[in-house]
Every structure is written in structure tokens, then in C-alpha cells.
């Protein structure tokens, strides 16, 4: 699984002119599900995101996690994170999980964040054409890839 985590002061996602999810301070997570991704990887990624300490403490050090700031998460499915751009000029999405499989892991990922105590987990609409708005805080952007963790990178 791949995720782009952006620290935000607010974020929202709109589908067909209707806001389907919005949050205040926390993370916007763009989530890409790859072929072969498992529940074990999903749980590992959710735990890492719930516990990562990238909010500033009283000394302006990135030392606080979501639970310490009462943070929220907006999760948006994004199969384009799985793009292979190694050949030619047009990306290939062959490494993306099939839609039904990807949606199942996406939904379980959101539930896992909730079970880990994240106050609010808002969502986009899987497979929809979404407009995402955010106010990036910092900016702080972290990329996570469970495949790299398996390789020990």
C-alpha cells in the first residue's frame, strides 16, 4: 500500500458538488492499494499513520501524534499512486489492485484508523471523480510505502 500523508489545518472532498467528507486539523491521506496488498499491510500502515509524530509541541518540535492534538483524518482513495512511469510517457496502472479488492481494503483501512482511536475519520467516495481541497500545514508531507518496509528500506 502507498499513502501520501499531508498535515493539514483543514481538508474536504467534494463529489458532484456535495461535500462527502471534511475535517479540521489532522491528516489528509491519499491511499493507493496495490495488487497483492493484504490486511496485515493495511493494519501496519494505519497504525503507523495513527501514531506518527509530526505535529509540533510547545518547543516547535515535531513530537505529537494525532491523539495528542485531537486530530482528524480524511482518507481519499487514489489508484494513481500505484502508477508505473518507468516506460514511455503514459503511466500504467497495472499494479493497482482490482477495484473490488482495493475498495475492501480502503474501507477496512478507515475502520482500522477508527479502532485505533482516531477521533474522526472522514472519507471520499471510492472510484468517484473527487475535488479535494486542503490547507497544508507546514507544509508537511510524508510518503509511506509498505513494499519498501518489507524490503527493509
- Strand bridging mode 72-77 / 26-32: parallel
Alpha-carbon distance values, 149 to 9, 82, 88, 112, 116 (Å): 29, 16, 28, 19, 21
Q: Which of 78, 109, 123, 146 is catalytic?
A: 78
Q: Which of 9, 35, 80, 141 is catalytic?
A: 80
Strand partners, 26: 8, 72
Q: Is 80 labeled as catalytic in the residue annotation?
A: yes
H helices present in the chain, as ranges: 39-51, 66-69, 99-115, 146-151
Q: Is 79 labeled as catalytic in the residue annotation?
A: yes
141 vs 110: CA distance, rounded Å? 20
Q: Is 146 labeled as catalytic in the residue annotation?
A: no
Q: Which of 79, 109, 123, 146 is catalytic?
A: 79
Residues tagged active-site: 78-80
Amino acid at each position: 500500500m502507498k499513502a501520501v500523508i499531508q498535515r493539514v489545518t483543514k481538508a474536504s472532498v467534494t463529489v458532484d458538488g456535495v461535500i462527502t467528507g471534511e475535517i479540521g486539523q489532522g491528516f489528509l491521506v491519499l491511499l493507493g492499494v496495490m495488487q497483492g496488498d493484504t490486511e496485515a499491510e493495511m493494519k501496519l500502515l494505519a497504525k503507523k499513520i495513527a501514531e506518527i509524530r509530526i505535529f509540533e509541541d510547545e518547543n516547535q518540535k515535531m513530537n505529537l501524534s494525532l491523539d495528542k492534538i485531537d486530530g482528524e483524518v480524511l482518507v481519499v482513495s487514489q489508484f494513481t499512486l500505484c502508477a508505473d512511469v518507468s516506460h514511455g510517457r503514459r503511466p500504467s496502472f497495472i499494479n493497482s489492485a482490482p477495484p473490488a479488492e482495493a475498495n475492501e481494503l480502503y474501507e477496512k483501512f478507515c475502520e482500522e484508523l477508527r479502532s485505533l482511536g482516531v477521533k474522526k475519520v472522514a472519507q471520499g467516495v471510492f472510484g468517484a471523480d473527487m475535488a479535494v481541497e486542503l490547507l497544508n500545514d507546514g507544509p508537511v508531507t510524508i510518503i509511506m510505502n509498505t513494499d519498501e518496509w518489507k524490503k527493509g528500506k
